[in-house]
Chain A
């Protein structure tokens, strides 16, 4: 009984992945046939915003997270990663002293390309 339940879960997961593939494949059809207006292009964006932009190593870096993860991480080169709870905060500040002698910082969340920003100084 337990085995069949687990098999069912994985079969369902496979089905979900297949469903997403199928829906992506027909998106062009939907875009052209739906009565609702659609943009015919995808704007590639990133869940991270920084101030200043472009960042420099001699200024504090204000980081704004625009995604929907509950927590994110940033990692200054050679240092331990720092986890930040972003459930109620939209952003955080990395002080400039953390960047002294460093080549960059990585901002990390889930969401593949959207969730990552690598900053090089």
Chain B
């Protein structure tokens, strides 16, 4: 009798081990490079109080190869241990984010997703989750090199219907978050990874007011990738009433025939680049109009192969109102787009406006996720 019970226990134990092995075969981490190490970025776009987001993640089929013949049943995000400790400070426990997740297998490429959300989906879109994702309360200080995907510390999305893997197709995961309302400010950062690729920029001349920091105008060089949004920021001179960003294709001739630099106003407010495109930008005063302020511009670029390594020029122009209106200019920038093409195998498209049909493309950028399939 005793031996029968032992035998049964051994059989059950072996069966359990077997099931464990089978299940472990259906688990992958995306991007695969982050399976055993923490990603180099973090994201707070998914889980935060009163935040609305749409985030589409396009995953290359190569990342899903080991799941061939299975069905996706669950997705988990990972806590960020390295630098996001401030992010977890306000978690009291019980916070949650209402969310809808749609998914499809698609021909849209992870290396070149469309800014238009619909274009990244395949023909058969499945709603795999609708509900509230509850965020675990986690320690703010964490000495570990990398967090786990254990449900005690990993936000988990259990699919309401399994999603069969389509071999050779890329996966489009489409997250829409609705406003969480715990009644206090909080965010729950998740681990993320990016393959940083940057273009280059060179300063031309200088701003024509005594800016507290030089150069007054800068570009985020990692945004100089065809298909992404170019991001520039600039200090604005005191008493700015309007700001514009000029994009041009020459720093020698304006409009093809006017020699540059061209003095627009004294002292030394010079047009340094051809103002082929002039875009108004939002500007902010700092406390009062007599201080320098701030402006920025985020503008999309097309995904064209010919843009890799191409150059262009930028300069801010300001309308300043003191006793009489005048013009002021920032320093110019000569920028060159990165030559490298995306290589992470995951990119995302995101917007803060869920009524919009398009978003901003982030090439080689991914939340770190564990996908489970059976």
Please give the residue numbers on chain A whose beta carbons come within 8 Å of chain B beta carbons, in ascending order.
3, 5-10, 12-17, 19-20, 23-24, 26-28, 30-31, 34-43, 45, 49, 51, 53, 62, 64, 66, 68-71, 75, 77, 80-81, 87-92, 103-104, 106, 108-116, 118, 120
Residue B71 at the chain A interface, CB threshold 8 Å = no
- A45 in contact with B301 (CB, 8 Å): no
Residues of A within 8 A of B356 (CB): 23-24, 27, 30
Residue B310 at the chain A interface, CB threshold 8 Å = yes
What are 26 A-B contacts defined by CB distance under 8 Å? A5-B310, A10-B277, A10-B312, A12-B302, A13-B277, A13-B301, A17-B279, A17-B300, A23-B116, A24-B358, A34-B118, A36-B125, A42-B355, A51-B90, A64-B87, A64-B187, A66-B45, A88-B42, A89-B86, A90-B86, A91-B86, A91-B87, A104-B286, A104-B287, A112-B282, A113-B282
Compute how far the CA of A7 lies from the CA of B40 in the bound complex, rounded to whole angstroms.
37
Known: A30-B356, A66-B48, A110-B233. 16 other contacts (CB 8 A): A3-B249, A6-B312, A10-B247, A16-B299, A17-B300, A34-B118, A39-B52, A42-B52, A42-B354, A43-B352, A62-B89, A70-B222, A71-B220, A106-B287, A106-B294, A120-B287
Q: Of B82, B187, B276, which one neighbours A66 at CB under 8 angstroms?
A: B187
Q: Known contacts A5-B306, A53-B185: does B247 contact A13 (CB below 8 Å)?
A: yes
Q: Of B102, B296, B357, which one neighbours A111 at CB under 8 angstroms?
A: B296
Q: How far is the CB of B88 from chain A (nearest CB, A)?
A: 9
Q: How far is the CB of A2 from chain B (nearest CB, A)?
A: 9
Residues of B within 8 A of A43 (CB): 50-52, 179, 352
Compute how far the CA of A15 lies from the CA of B200 in the bound complex, rounded to whole angstroms.
23
- A118 in contact with B296 (CB, 8 Å): no
Compute how far the CA of A114 lies from the CA of B90 in the bound complex, rounded to whole angstroms.
21
Residue B123 at the chain A interface, CB threshold 8 Å = no
Q: How far is the CB of B127 from chain A (nearest CB, A)?
A: 8
Compute how far the CA of A66 lies from the CA of B50 in the bound complex, rounded to whole angstroms.
13
Residues of A within 8 A of B86 (CB): 62, 64, 89-92
Q: How many A-B residue pairs have CB under 8 A?
A: 191
Of all chain B residues, the one with the shortest Cβ separation from A78 is B291
* Chain B residues within 8 Å of chain A by Cβ, number: 74
Q: Of A15, A36, A88, which one neighbours B82 at CB under 8 angstroms?
A: A88
Residue B202 at the chain A interface, CB threshold 8 Å = no
Q: Known contacts A20-B300, A88-B42: does B355 contact A31 (CB below 8 Å)?
A: yes
Residues of B within 8 A of A69 (CB): 220, 231
Q: Known contacts A5-B310, A51-B89: does B249 contact A20 (CB below 8 Å)?
A: no
Most buried by A among B100, B213, B287, B300: B287
